Structure 1
Amino acid sequence: MAGRALRASTAVVLVVGLALTFVAARDDPLELLCYFTIQVDLAYLVVLPIGSVDRLRTALTVYLVVTGLVFVLVLANPWSGYSMVATADARGTVSDAGNLLLHVVAPPLATADWLTRRPGTAPPRTYAVSLLAYPLLWLTAILLRAAGSDPTQEKYLYPFLDVNRLGYPTVVVNALVFATLVLLLGLTAARLSRPAPAARLP
């Protein structure tokens, strides 16, 4: 019963957060579909009711936690150097509420849900590395998309990926930092997925 309530709460938070975010971006809502956070949130909503896709649910939970950490520590942190608080992407109260739900409220709820429904078998040793495939594909698509656009338009989505301002070496370093975060969280999830050892009889 508690697990169902937790899943329902997570779904409501994500739906409301996504709705607020799309309302705030009414001038160009399709642009939001390019964001890593939005893609992960939509995929998580699809997978959330399904109980038999443990590895996919684990991957999406890891990605949700990563988006939350990046938002809190980097994008919403005025001292990070990559803050988006004072940019055009900060669209006001509605956008702030949506970001709060998607980045601050949803990741802990998703983590709590995963912990209550941890996979019963440990994934293979390469699982944590495999979690890098989707972010790498997304990053490649975003960089190619931005490279082929008008240089006067902001198409890099996140300031830490802005090649025009930072250059490729810095963007690569930033990407490696986030890749390391995904790996660490993936290794942690894989470790927690292992079934507890059977108690030895005296």
Structure 2
Amino acid sequence: MPSAVPASAVMAPTWRPRAAAYRLLVAAAAAAAVTAEMLIGPPFRVLSHFAIQSNIAVALVLTFSARRAWATRRPVPAALTGAVVLYVTMSAVVYHLFLTETSPPFSITGAPGTHHLWQSVAGHLLHTAVPIAALLDWLLLTAPAHLHLRQAPAWLLYPLAYLAFSLTRGELLPSGAADRYLYPFLDVARHGYKHVLANALLLGLSFYALAILLVAVDHARPNPIRRRTKTGFRLRPPVG
């Protein structure tokens, strides 16, 4: 009879120093970009951005994942990795589609041009390099077929909580504050709640569609870390 015990329960994880080094490098890049933004702009404003929060999540999860890969321990739960990849990818997509040509120019720090080189490097890391690197880590350094459609609704809880936080923050700040609403498509003072909630609904549907796409890709991609097992003996042709 086939065993009901999965192979991962009886096969010890392998030592993966290259994966650990790559993840530490990506985590360091995300942490450096967040730190640079916080040194330039007000920390509370910087930390209130979705891109900053998603990059912090990437730094934490990849650091923890690198430690497990180096210590020959089992990988972090796939649902956690999938959620982080979803958030940082969606943040990059929103930035490149809606925030690169805004007027006034979109700025996490609220002071565009103050430290142009630092802000340019940090912006490219936050919105391009780190999301691509996180996607490559998921595609090339993790086992497939561990994500499921039932996880997608749970992944949407954080974007929903962020929407509530953003709108509440805007209501609590003075009406004349320049950073009352951090994203133009969530600016209630300019567009009103009806328009903002419609934008939020479209973003939520986009989040869910991207989550479904990640699950589909996860079940269609090959296994990049398949290992060859050794039994310790060789089969020989029968005699006679």
| TM tier relative to shorter chain | 0.7 to 0.9
Residues of 2 paired with 1:165 and 1:57: CA distance?
A: 36
- Preserved contact between residue 36 and residue 138 of structure 1 (Cα < 8 Å): yes
Residues of 1 paired with 2:112 and 2:94: CA distance?
A: 16
Q: Does 1:30 align with 2:52?
A: no
2:84 maps to what in 1? Answer: 60
1:47 maps to what in 2? Answer: 61
Q: How many angstroms does 1:195 deviate by?
A: 6.8
Map 1:7-156 → 2, pairs under 5 A = 7-25=23-41, 28-48=42-62, 49-50=64-65, 51-78=75-102, 84=106, 88-92=110-114, 93=116, 94-153=118-177, 154-156=179-181
1:169-198: CA deviation from partner (whole Å, max 9, x where unpaired): 21112112221221122111111222779x
Q: How many angstroms does 1:142 deviate by?
A: 1.4
Amino acid at match of 2:37: T
Q: How many angstroms does 1:99 deviate by?
A: 1.2
Q: Does 1:175 align with 2:197?
A: no
Residues of 2 paired with 1:105 and 1:29: CA distance?
A: 22
Map 1:153-168 → 2, pairs under 5 A = 153=177, 154-168=179-193
Q: Does 1:6 align with 2:15?
A: no
Amino acid at match of 1:70: V
- Preserved contact between residue 120 and residue 193 of structure 1 (Cα < 8 Å): yes
Residues of 1 paired with 2:133 and 2:19: CA distance?
A: 11
Bigger Cα displacement from structure 2, 36-45 vs 2-11: 2-11
Segments of 5+ residues of structure 1 without an aligned counterpart are 198-202
Larger Rg: 2
1:118-159: CA deviation from partner (whole Å, max 9, x where unpaired): 444443432222221100011101101211221111321111
Count of matched residue pairs: 192
Residues of 1 paired with 2:55 and 2:162: CA distance?
A: 14
Segments of 5+ residues of structure 2 without an aligned counterpart are 1-16, 66-74, 223-240
**Could you state the TM-score of these two structures normalised by the residue count of structure 2?**
0.72
Residues of 1 paired with 2:202 and 2:47: CA distance?
A: 24
1:34-59: CA deviation from partner (whole Å, max 9, x where unpaired): 11111111122111132222111111
**Could you state the TM-score of these two structures normalised by the residue count of structure 1?**
0.84
Q: Which has the higher contact order (CA 8 A, sep 6+)?
A: 1
Amino acid at match of 2:198: V
Bigger Cα displacement from structure 2, 117-126 vs 49-58: 117-126
Q: How many angstroms does 1:112 deviate by?
A: 0.2
Q: How many angstroms does 1:18 deviate by?
A: 1.1
The structure 1 residue matched to 2:212, chosen from 187, 191, 196, is: 187
Residues of 1 paired with 2:185 and 2:53: CA distance?
A: 19
